[in-house]
Amino acid sequence: MDLSALRHSASHVMAQAVKMLWPEVKLGIGPAIEDGFYYDFDKPDPFEPEDLDRIEDKMRDIIRANYKFERQEISKEEAIKIFKKRGEKYKLELIQEIADDKVSIYKDGDFIDLCRGPHVESTGKIRAFKLLSIAGAYWHGLETNPMLQRIYGTAFETEEELNDYLVLVEEAKKRDHRLVGKQLGYFSLNEEVGPGLVLYHPKGAMLRFLIEDYIRREHLRRGYQLVLGPHIMKSDIWIQSGHFEYYKENMYIFKIEGQEYAIKPMNCPGHILVYKSKTRSYRDLPIRYFELGTVYRNEKSGVLHGLLRVRGFTQDDAHIFCLHQQVEEEIIKVIDFVIDTLNVFGFEDFAVEISTRPAKSIGKDEDWDAAHHALSNALKRKYIRYSVNEGEGAFYGPKIDIKLKDALKREWQCATIQCDFALPERFDLTYIGEDGKEHRPIMLHRVILGSVERFTGALLEHFGGALPLWLSPCQVMIIPISEKVMSYAKRVEKLLIENGIRAELDYRNERLQKKIRDAELEKVPYMVIIGEKEAAENSLSIRSKAQGEMGRLMIEEFMQMLQKEIKEKVR
């Protein structure tokens, strides 16, 4: 059975059930999505969580009736009459947007919906489904339009598959980086600051430092040069690059002394101007510029989501300027860089897609074809399977997207490699070739982690907040049993910190079991329990988050064990 058709049918039945329970509700749209389906409703009063049970019960009645899904193709005029009589204003708007003279509707029982399909044969084919949540959604995704209520659900062929999925959903709720981030004190999003702008607390700032420190060192090791650009630039630059034409609604624009500026949404124009600052030779290429660049994008408030979708974020952004004959090899090197990095951070699987030319774009067809060939050939040479995402490339070139898969097999968009012939032409970038003449370089835009914010969110959910030792903001919690051993505990803390171990001393006047429990809740990798015997012997009683009680170790022995685990980045 086609899972997409099954879920689309379940969405249709959900809308039918809602209309039976609340006839005054107006229908929006209800597509199948990756993990299920949704339907948007215009209802005067908000849906309550208990309403989902009522809707499910009514859906079961419709399923038991086993109505056949009947498709009819009718004229737009006839469709307008049908939905005008039913008072479905959103359906009337959708009909007006359809270019064809005819539209398709689906009928089951007394219910009619404007729909392209496909559906399963009858409502009785829908056996395993569950309604999951209620959210708000602007009609057509525009904030100027009415806010509708969206009900999400999912459907599978069997109850077993549904139950397996629901277990994953519950686990995902526990791992939600917003919940974990708040519980562990990593970050906060404060309305006083503004939506989509992150405040990193000490632990979150340390985690971010560790991620950025690793990625910065790796770039230097792989032949990249560090550059740094301003956060604002004159609008002329963004007009020349094409961002004003294709991206202006997502940019923050303002004036200073009559001159228009924009806060940068991308780092590429700055890197281009560094390249253009002097004459380049073919012997200089490839040139790889790298910047941990903070950018700002005017995302709609409705799509903001914790660290995953924000308005201010930092990219591990690089641009590679190279010869035509170097493009494929440079793409392969970036692919290797991505895979190596994912493995280091504990992500063992990924999915890859190539996105092709969008309707709004710049550049010549032959350049787009050459860029697409370079990207696809690099993946073929690496024996990496990929799918094609038609029309979703950048406005200046096609791209490879590498989506990491976390512990729950969910995909997260992070790394991307974009092949660009257009911007080098717009900025008249050149190098002196072997023949002494000017030639045009090819430009690769690429990120490895992508947004550091998004990657941090994915990392927290992947590990459920229980980060490996090398990434843990606090690696060792020192817990003295009594005040009598506090002096020794402080010496241990000092020695660990001096040897590069991030240690904290729990000096609170609390019971031992509470201190241990609190360290467990904070997901600290190691606890050091210090009593009078440990103080007398210069030893430590070790408790590991992963292994439990480890017995006593001498201080030097413990530090060597930690340093080895950190160096090897054990997961």
| pLDDT tens-place string over residues 351-397 | 999 999 988 888 888 889 889 999 999 999 999 999 998 888 888 88
CB 70 within 8 A of CB 77: no
Q: How confident is the model at residue 247 (pLDDT cuts 50, 70, 90)?
A: confident
E strands, 97-179, in order: 102-108, 111-114, 128-138, 147-156
Q: Active-site residue 81, yes or no?
A: no
Residues of the chain with CATH 3.30.980.10: 3-175
Give the architecture (CATH level 2) of 212-228+264-463.
2-Layer Sandwich (3.30)
Which pLDDT belongs to residue 570?
85
Give the architecture (CATH level 2) of 469-567.
3-Layer(aba) Sandwich (3.40)
CA torsion sign, 353 to 354 to 360 to 362?
A: positive
Nearest alpha-carbon partner for 350 in 360, 364, 338, 334 = 338
Residues of the chain with CATH 3.30.930.10: 212-228+264-463
| pLDDT tens-place string over residues 98-140 | 888 888 989 998 899 998 888 999 999 999 999 999 988 888 8
CB 95 within 8 A of CB 78: no
Q: Active-site residue 319, yes or no?
A: yes
Average pLDDT over residues 290-304: 89
Q: Active-site residue 364, yes or no?
A: no
Which pLDDT belongs to residue 136?
86
Least confident of 382-396, 455-469, 549-563: 382-396
Q: Per the residue annotation, which of 119, 319, 372, 454 is the catalytic one?
A: 319
Which pLDDT belongs to residue 98?
84
Q: Per the residue annotation, which of 26, 445, 523, 543 is the catalytic one?
A: 445
Q: Active-site residue 462, yes or no?
A: no
Q: Per the residue annotation, which of 16, 315, 326, 475 is the catalytic one?
A: 315
Q: Active-site residue 42, yes or no?
A: no
SS (H, E, C) 277-293: CCCCEHHHCCEEEEEEE
Q: Per the residue annotation, which of 58, 297, 515, 523 is the catalytic one?
A: 297
Cα–Cα distances in angstroms (integers) from residue 450 to residues 61, 300, 315, 402, in the given order: 47, 20, 5, 10
Class of domain 3-175: alpha beta
| Cα gap 359→357, rounded to integer Å | 7
Q: Active-site residue 445, yes or no?
A: yes
pTM over 0.75: yes
- Report phi then psi at 439, rounded to 5: -135, 165
Q: Per the residue annotation, which of 268, 414, 419, 474 is the catalytic one?
A: 268
Which pLDDT belongs to residue 171?
92
Q: How confident is the model at residue 234 (pLDDT cuts 50, 70, 90)?
A: very high
| pLDDT tens-place string over residues 40-87 | 999 999 999 999 999 999 999 999 999 999 999 989 889 889 889 889
Which pLDDT belongs to residue 1?
65
Which pLDDT belongs to residue 141?
75
Q: Per the residue annotation, which of 119, 208, 219, 399 is the catalytic one?
A: 399
Q: Which of 2-6, 83-87, 135-139, 227-231 has the highest mean pLDDT?
A: 227-231
pLDDT over threshold 70, residue 212 = yes
CB atoms within 10 A of CB 83: 23
Which pLDDT belongs to residue 396?
84
Residues of the chain with CATH 3.40.50.800: 469-567
Q: Active-site residue 518, yes or no?
A: no
Tell me whether strands 232-234 and 259-263 are parallel, antiparallel or unpaired: antiparallel
Q: Per the residue annotation, which of 317, 367, 406, 506 is the catalytic one?
A: 317
Mean pLDDT, all residues of the chain:
92
